Amino acid sequence: MNRPFLYQTFLIINLKILCMIIITFSFVMLNAENQIIKVGIYNNSPKIFMSPQKQASGIFIDIIEYIAEKENWKIIYVEGTWEECLHNLHTEKIDIMPDVAFSPERERLYSFHKTPVLSSWSQVYANQGTTINSILHLENKTVAILKSSIQEQAFLRFIEGFDIKINLLSLKSYTEVFRAVYDKKADVAIANNFYGLQHIKDFDLFETGIVFNPSSLFFVTKKNTNLQILDTFEKHIQHLKNNQKSEYYKSLNKWTTENVSYQFPLWAKIFGLIIITALIITTIAGFILKKQVKLRTKELEKSNLEMEQKVKTRTKELAEAMEKALQADQLKSAFLATMSHELRTPLNSIIGFTGILIQELAGPLNDEQKKQLALVQKSSRHLLALINDILDISKIESGQLTLDYSEFNLDEVMEKTTKIIEPILQNKGVKLITNISHKVDSIYGDKRRIEQILLNLLSNAAKFTEKGDIKIYCTYNKKLCNIVIQDTGIGMEKDELSKLFKPFSQIDKGLTRKYEGSGLGLSICKKLIEKMNGNIKVESTIGKGSIFSIEFPYKKETINE
Amino acid sequence: MNNNYTLLIIEDNPDNYYLMNFLLSKHNFNIIGANNGLDGIKIALQKVPDAILLDIQLPEMDGYTVAVELKKQKSLKNIPIIVVTSYAMPGDREKALASGADGYIEKPINPETFVSEISQYLKPK
């Protein structure tokens, strides 16, 4: 039981010793490494002040920091007003107080080093525009001054000799002193030359010529305390002041140089503003424009794409339509070919055997049989003509009709067609008069189709003319051959003429019974002549007759154009 | 009309064959017939007619091919071939002539002019 107890006691004693050693050692370490110096700081820019960032600043601070670094001191700043700081020094809350002007009264309270840090004087500052230039001008003026400062005492002493009355406005800081003048609560402000130099611009004040109380500024300690520290200060300050490139002069330079700022003239300001505004507007406009252009470009690209797509789609549709049309055309052609073939085969039998019978190759016929077979023959031929017409117009409309050009003699064609018509006219007693120019030996064209057109026009004329004559004129000009067929037939009304060249438009006024025909002839004529780059015209007077005229190019070179 | 002319009619439609046979026989032509192209070629080689009347729409071998084949034969090279057909669309005539045919007659035939149309292709004897 005793053993553990003893052991425990021993352990505790050991621990205590260890702790003591550590603590002692720490103190020694602390003393050796960092001597703590407590420094008073108050607001007297640029000599000493707390920056808005709570950073101790100013000429005195720069010197302290320099010495502290050299001496390995740790500086603790204790902030207060001028009066508070002096009180702190007296009560030893701070070790040292910077920026203290020497005076015999103060020498009794504080210990000074020998070399002054700065030489200072007090100066009177007034509002711009006032004309205070001598101490006498201060009569009845309100003077703002730092409370309990050396200036306060000195100023009072200073004016004693002049016998002037002033109102004294004691304030706690230089800032308040200057503001009082700025706010017109006081007429003039009194401050040391350092503060004045740095702050007259801020409060729009000017330096009057009134200067007094030149003084030297020192670091001080409470009388007969911290003398060692004062000696160290003395040593460094001497050294600093002797060296033109030292931290001391750098600091002075830093804190006393006026903040030079160039004032632009008004016109330049306005001009600059205008330029900047213009620049901003231009930039914004440019940006907007760029954006719009981008947008438009995008839109354009989009619509381009859409267009392309549409074109593609349309092209495809068109190609499909073309394909369909082509197929339809081919189908139509095949249908036409088949129809033509299939109708011709039975007609071949009808027309052929009728012809054989009429020719009595199969045996003799009586008159009635001959008459009836003649009717069959006539009807079958009419049917064939109808089929041929229908096929013709179908061929033309489906674009399958191609002209077969060659050189030929128009006289021969005229002769052939008139020969076909003449027998019909002879029966009626209608005369056929031809008046053909022989200026041209041969013409270039589709002989069969021109023959077809002439035959059609002539048989129409023959069909509708019961008496009088049919005249054929043929003339040539440089480019065109002109053929006119004039009859003295029944004629037509004007409104009938417009329908004349349309298919199946044979004028129906009971005429169909008297005049047979498919009603396709003139329509085919018009299409054929137009295919030849020619034209067909008609003039007519009802009861007096009609004039049909055709024109078509007849020279190879004209046609090939 | 013309004696001792022998005509070969290659025609599959019996009515049309009958019509042409009747019409031409009445005009003293000797008629031999075939109802398809191959038979037609065979008979033509055997008999060597004075002219051949050839339909276009024929079973198995069409008239154009038959015309080409006939013209290939040495013995038949100079025998006129007259196409008699219901094909009357544009280009049909040209196609027939290009195949070696010497003449082209559209159906329906005109019985009044048919014989003279055929006769113009025949060489005088």
**A297-344 pLDDT per residue, tens:** 888 888 888 888 888 888 888 888 888 887 877 787 778 778 888 888
- Comparing alpha-carbon positions, the chain A residue that sits nearest to B112 is A355
Q: Which domains does chain B have, with CATH numbers?
A: 6-119 (3.40.50.2300)
Q: How many CB atoms are closer than 10 A to CB A435?
A: 10
The Cα of A329 is separated from the nearest Cα of chain B by a number of Å equal to 15
pLDDT of residue A13: 56
* Cα separation, A520 vs A504, whole angstroms: 6
The Cα of A314 is separated from the nearest Cα of chain B by a number of Å equal to 34
The Cα of B78 is separated from the nearest Cα of chain A by a number of Å equal to 28
Residue A421 contacts residue A432 (beta carbons within 8 Å): yes
- Comparing alpha-carbon positions, the chain A residue that sits nearest to B86 is A341
> How many CB pairs lie under 8 A apart between chains A and B?
74
Are B86 and A344 in contact (CB < 8 Å)? Answer: yes
Residue A28 pLDDT level (bands cut at 50, 70, 90)? very low
Closest CA to A400 of B103, B96, B88: B88
Are B109 and A361 in contact (CB < 8 Å)? Answer: no
Helical packing angle, A266-358 and A367-397, nearest 10°? 160
Q: What would the mean pLDDT of A28-54 be, rounded to a whole number?
A: 78
Mean pLDDT of all residues in chain A?
Answer: 84
For residue A512, pLDDT over 50 is answered with no
Q: What is the pLDDT of residues A58-110, one digit of tens each?
A: 888 988 889 888 888 889 999 988 888 888 988 989 999 998 888 888 888 89
* ipTM exceeding 0.90, yes/no: no
Distance of CA B33 to the CA centre of its chain: 10
Q: How many CB atoms are closer than 10 A to CB A408?
A: 17
The shortest CB-CB distance from A400 to any of B86, B90, B109 is to: B90
Distance of CA B71 to the CA centre of its chain: 13
pLDDT > 70: what percent of chain A?
90
The HSE-up count of residue A146 (CA atoms within 13 Å, CB side) is 22
Are B111 and A337 in contact (CB < 8 Å)? Answer: no
Q: What residues of chain B lie within 8 A of the CB of A361, using their CB?
A: 22-23, 26
The shortest CB-CB distance from A348 to any of B26, B89, B107 is to: B107
Are A356 and B109 in contact (CB < 8 Å)? Answer: no
pLDDT of residue A260: 42
Q: What residues of chain B lie within 8 A of the CB of A333, using their CB?
A: 89
| Chain A: residues touching B (Cβ < 8 Å) | 333, 336-337, 340-342, 344-345, 347-356, 359, 361-362, 380, 384, 391, 395, 400-402
The shortest CB-CB distance from B108 to any of A344, A400, A402 is to: A344
pLDDT of residue A492: 87
Name the burial class of residue A543, with classes exposed (0-12), middle (13-18) and buried (19+) by CB atoms within 10 angstroms of its CB: exposed
Q: What residues of chain A lie within 8 A of the CB of B26, using their CB?
A: 356, 361
The Cα of B12 is separated from the nearest Cα of chain A by a number of Å equal to 12
